[in-house]
Amino acid sequence: MWHGRRVHLAAVYDGAHMALFVDGKREAVTRLTGRHKPAPFPLVIGADPQPVAGNPTPSVHNHFAGAIEAVRVSRGVRYANQNFAPPAELRTDASTILMLPFDRGEGEVAQGRSRGKYHARIVGARWEKANAWRAQNPAPATPDARLPEPPAPPP
């Protein structure tokens, strides 16, 4: 959720370029050079991980202030260069490597829904009931829905 509005974000890497789609519309693309290297620490969702020398667990900063309904990681290119209509709800399919629904659960573990049965540890966040949240924050109506400009930084 961004500024009181539900937003669908998709990052797509095709082996040469990284593209960012916002509500189904490609907003940015950049060419990446060099070989992909795995991060020296686990995947972090909703914060900026910073490596700590000699420690496999990163220090995290810049926590996301909002709600994350679900995260899906796919094998291959799910969205190419064309715009698309974002789904109302993410679903698993043959390309899904990791699917984490954060809209149903409790405790400190998000149960993954994917063939790999990956799970996520919840740190510094709380569970919200999905149905009430979705009723107040419907999915974007069209891929042409534009985000409002972010507020100006304080003086």
Domain ranges of the chain: 55-136
**Higher-confidence residue: 149 or 28?**
28
Q: pTM of the predicted model, to two decimals? A: 0.73
Q: What is the mean pLDDT of residues 136-152?
A: 46
Where helices occur in 1-155 by DSSP H, the ranges are 130-136
Residue 2 has pLDDT above 70, yes or no: no
92, with CB counted inside 10 A (0-12, 13-18, 19+), is: middle
Residue 81 has pLDDT above 60, yes or no: yes
Residue 136 has pLDDT above 70, yes or no: no
Q: CA distances (Å), 49 to each of 14, 43, 45, 60, in order?
A: 24, 9, 9, 4
pLDDT for res 146 = 41
**Higher-confidence residue: 97 or 56?**
97
- Average pLDDT in the chain: 77
Q: CA distances (Å), 14 to each of 73, 79, 91, in order?
A: 13, 10, 21
CB 120 within 8 A of CB 109: yes
pLDDT for res 61 = 83
pLDDT for res 143 = 41
Residue 58 has pLDDT above 70, yes or no: yes
pLDDT for res 142 = 45
Residue 1 has pLDDT above 50, yes or no: no
pLDDT tier at 151 (50, 70, 90 boundaries)? Answer: very low
pLDDT for res 64 = 82
